[in-house]
Amino acid sequence: MTKIIGLTDTEIGRIAQPLETAYTLPPQAYTDPQIYDQEVAHIMRKSWLPLARVDQLPKPGDFLALDLFDQPIMVVHGTDGTFRVMSRVCLHRAAPLIEGVGNRKLFSCPYHAWSYDTSGQLIKAPHMERADGFSETECRLPQLKTEIWNGFILANFDPDAAPFAPPVQSLADYFKNFELADMAVARTLEFDSHWNWKVLVENFMEAYHHIATHSETFEPAYHARDSKTPDTDGPWSILHMPAASDEMPDPASHGPTGALEDWQVRDLFANVAFPHFLFGLQGLSLVWYQVLPQSVDRLLLKIHICLPKSELAKPGADEIVQGTAEMMDFIHREDIGANDFVWRGLKAPMTQQGRLSPLEKSIWQFNQWWLNAMAQGEAVNSKKTNHTY
Ligand code: FES
Ligand SMILES: [Fe+2]
């Protein structure tokens, strides 16, 4: 029997049911700091996390700093053309080297001026001549395993992690006409939200809530009842929301749609590579929801609106981007309202697991993956414990 700290056998059994009889995760899976710590250990530090788009760092020396689960890191476009993700904590006395975004050929520590090149190699450590056996060449910032997939730069804390792409091949095939690698971030909306990260992921992954939360926005265009989720063969899920109307959008407002088939232009897709690589597709636009969990009850969200570079180069692109940004902001504020009240309910002492709707197949797929990832982590932990004692 699967064991997860903080969940009863009954609760686990209800989650693991077939979709038709399945329940949600229990409330403590969202609110218990101990379960969150287990998630960080078993999921976040073992999974591929999307950190940036290649187009956000176009020039050698471009960097972007992020904090991931207490680890200050930076994504760097090296002067050798390689994209790397590495710790940005100085090897001397642990000062973070830099914040924000920018361009540097050298990262010079603000504390005692040790300087690193764009590959993380220490180049100069002032006045260290009398430190016996010290050699700059042996000092390099720790690197995370890094992979580029369709223009996204992903990293994994686990040095033994299997590559990202093979298990999501079917997901990539579903969207191969969209040419995601040729897109660029045109606008980013930022939100600081006080919910568990899974509240946002689940909200992103089902269209059932269109009937109430988005009754005047999404529901008339994409009926909740028509949404569908294919079976999955890997750590991913697709929510396919067919358009309510067969009419094609006006090509004048939409640009040429290249290799896209009609249904791909009309319909809306919300996709996730587990745990929280969320991206939506509609026609020519890609919307990447970058989820940055901060604690059990807080997450930062960056909604990146992306369009093909060829579209962004055209006159009038600014208006299209502005219109999309305003729409995404409006829709997300509807979702914030829903997530706020769900979060209040999840913290209530009488709240228990609820039944899932068959329209929430994506959540069910996520839950099975979550259960498995958490149980595997705990099995490894208990083996380690047995070994130690
Ligand atoms: S902590 Fe960075 S140079 Fe001292
Ligand atoms: Fe929504």
CB neighbours (10 Å) of residue 115? 18
114 lines ligand 1 (CB under 6 A): yes
pLDDT at 260: 84
CA of residue 6 to ligand 2 center, whole Å: 29
> Cα Rg for the chain, rounded, in angstroms?
22
pLDDT digit string (tens) for 349-381? Answer: 999 999 999 999 999 999 999 999 999 987 777
Q: Give the angle 222-224-229 at the CA atoms, nearest 5°.
A: 95
The DSSP line for 269-301 is EEEEETTTEEEEEETTEEEEEEEEEEETTEEEE
Q: Among the atoms of ligand 1, which is closest to the Cα of residue 95?
A: 1
238 lines ligand 1 (CB under 6 A): no
**What single DSSP character describes residue 349?**
T
Q: Which two tokens stand for residue 33?
A: 């700091």
Q: Which two tokens stand for residue 280?
A: 């939506």
Helix extents (H) in the chain: 9-15, 28-31, 33-39, 169-174, 197-204, 218-221, 251-254, 262-266, 309-312, 317-346, 361-388
Which is it for strands 49-53 and 83-87: parallel, antiparallel or unpaired? unpaired
Mutating to test ligand 1, I would choose from 90, 91, 122, 124 the residue with most ligand atoms within 8 A of its C-beta, which is: 90
Residues 9-46+167-374: name the CATH superfamily.
Naphthalene 1,2-dioxygenase Alpha Subunit; Chain A, domain 1 (3.90.380.10)
Q: Which CATH class is domain 49-156?
A: mainly beta
pLDDT digit string (tens) for 75-116? Answer: 999 999 999 999 999 999 999 999 999 999 999 999 999 999
pLDDT at 257: 63
- By the CB criterion, residues less than 5 angstroms from ion ligand 2 are 335
pLDDT digit string (tens) for 169-203? Answer: 999 999 988 889 999 999 999 999 999 999 999 99
Mutating to test ligand 1, I would choose from 87, 88, 109 the residue with most ligand atoms within 8 A of its C-beta, which is: 109
Q: Give the angle 186-191-196 at the CA atoms, nearest 5°.
A: 130
Q: At what angle do helices 197-204 and 317-346 cross, to 10 degrees?
A: 120
91 lines ligand 1 (CB under 6 A): no
Instruction: Confirm if 14 and 353 have CB atoms less than 8 A apart.
Output: yes
Interatomic CA distance for residues 266 and 62, integer angstroms: 36
Give me the residue spans of the domains in the chain. Answer: 9-46+167-374, 49-156
- Residue by residue, pLDDT tens for the chain (389 residues) are 678 889 999 999 999 999 999 999 999 999 999 999 999 999 999 999 999 999 999 999 999 999 999 999 999 999 999 999 999 999 999 999 999 999 999 999 999 999 999 999 999 999 999 999 999 999 999 999 999 999 999 999 999 999 999 999 999 999 988 889 999 999 999 999 999 999 999 999 999 999 999 999 999 999 999 999 999 999 999 999 999 988 876 654 555 567 788 888 899 999 999 999 999 998 889 999 999 999 999 999 999 999 999 999 999 999 999 999 999 999 999 999 999 999 999 999 999 999 999 999 999 999 999 999 999 987 777 766 544 33
pLDDT at 244: 93
Nearest of 18, 21, 20, 16 to residue 4 by alpha carbon:
16
